[in-house]
Amino acid sequence: MTDHDLVRAARSRLTQAGLGLARTPLCVAGILLIPLQLYAYPLILVTIGVPLLLVFTALARRYTAFFRWWAARVLEVEIPPPYRVPANRGPMTRVRTIATDPATWRDLAFLPVNAIVGIFSGLLPVAFWINGLLGFVMPLIWLDRGKAEYVVLDRDTPGNFVLAPLMGIAFLALAWWATPRAARLHATVVKWLLAPSATAALTDRVRVLADSRADTVDAQAAELRRIERDLHDGAQARLVALGLSLGMAEELLARDPRAAQELLAEARQSSTQALAELRDLVRGIHPPVLADRGLDGALRALALAHPLPVEVDLELAGRPEAPVESAAYFAVAETLTNVAKHSGATDAWVRVRHEDGRLSLMIGDNGRGGAEPAENGGLRGIERRLAAFDGTLGIASPVGGPTIVTMELPCELSSVKTSSSSGTG
């Protein structure tokens, strides 16, 4: 380690110790939130406690959110908030949710523990640094006093001149070792008390899966209704008309062959249209190109048919499972449809990768931006489709553009490698 690196490391340690000392008053101040929050509970019976509890709880949660953020930076891990979300935004519902939420009471338990640990982890490293510096400063003070008074201080002073720097070196080494560990100790205690418990995480996971299942059931029911409506209004109506035309042609065949021939021509046209509508319907359920050529061929065919130039960049070490492949295809198709309808873009691109057991898809355009998932919009439908496979949807669309839609789906790939990069228009 060079001298420059040593100085930089020492400056970093001293800064860390100073920040720990600065956090100490904040840790102690958190104790004041305990009586404020507990005082509001009995006042709920006289109504005034409702707003007080909401205000003091929000203040306590902002306080703990700071320490959760700080601990996440120190430990380099994510520490999500563990709080329950109320079913609606009525004040009594929120109060009931807060009062029965175990995370609320864990926050109260955290406040005194945080004060004790914060004082310990904030003051101890600083004390080590000060004692280490005093080990070198005290001999200078003794020399100055001896020169000023023209006397020998005492017979132990020569030994102290040697012992004090040695003690200073020992304290500095201890301070160097303890400074980052004190911060990590404090952060670990914060994580232990403020991170979601295993039970809370499991409960939240069950809730997410239940919501996903409900959305999937609704989406499947809507899809079945769409197929039924398309069959009833399209192919079924044309097949009924085809049957009537054939029946009328059969009656006219003996007495008016020309009219019968015209009806047969209409019947043939109706059968062709019915067949085309059935093919379109089947293609909407599972495109044949997806089954034949996989996600690569299907996305490139989708890009070729798009009214805008779409660049496809796909690298996969195999094929995803068929349901995941279908969900990814339709999600990209819906996104590109939104690009053509609403973005005002002049070109778009699709990027597909598989990393760490997750299929990642990114769709971007150079349009006007401002895309947001509406309740019954296409993006919300994509989110529901992906949620059925435990997938996620992210949207970055500032006003003025560009828009980037990110999708992730957990999946495994088969052994067939697929890699292509193409621009289509």
The amino acid that residue 79 corresponds to is I
Count each helix (H run) and each strand (E run) in the chain, helices first.
Answer: 12, 6
For residue 147, the model assigns a pLDDT of 47
For residue 222, the model assigns a pLDDT of 63
Give the residue extent of every domain in the chain.
3-194, 200-285, 292-424
pLDDT of the chain along its 425 residues, tens only? 566 677 787 788 888 888 888 889 999 998 888 888 887 777 777 777 778 878 888 888 899 999 999 999 888 888 888 877 665 555 677 777 777 778 888 888 899 999 999 999 888 888 888 888 887 777 666 665 554 444 444 555 555 556 777 887 888 888 889 888 889 999 999 988 888 766 666 766 666 666 656 665 666 666 666 666 666 556 666 666 667 777 777 777 777 777 777 777 777 777 777 776 666 665 555 566 777 778 888 888 888 888 888 888 888 888 888 778 888 888 888 888 888 887 788 888 899 888 888 888 898 888 888 877 666 666 777 777 777 777 888 888 888 878 888 888 888 877 655 555 555 55
How far is Cα 109 from Cα 104, in angstroms, rounded to an integer? 9
Specify the fold of 292-424. Answer: Heat Shock Protein 90 (3.30.565)
Please report how the helices 102-149 and 3-29 are oriented relative to each other, as an axis angle in degrees rounded to 10: 120
Closest CA to 403 of 277, 304, 308: 308
Evaluate whether 361 touches 407 at the Cβ level (below 8 Å).
yes
For residue 375, the model assigns a pLDDT of 63
Please report how the helices 198-230 and 378-387 are oriented relative to each other, as an axis angle in degrees rounded to 10: 120
Give the DSSP per-residue string, 140-188. HHHHHHHHHHTS---TTHHHHHHHHHHHHHHHHHHHHHHHHHHHHHHHH
Structure tokens at 110: 């955290």
Evaluate whether 13 touches 180 at the Cβ level (below 8 Å).
yes
Secondary structure E strands in 290-402: 310-316, 348-355, 358-365, 392-396
- How far is residue 252 CA from its own chain's centroid? 69
Specify the fold of 200-285. Answer: 1.20.5
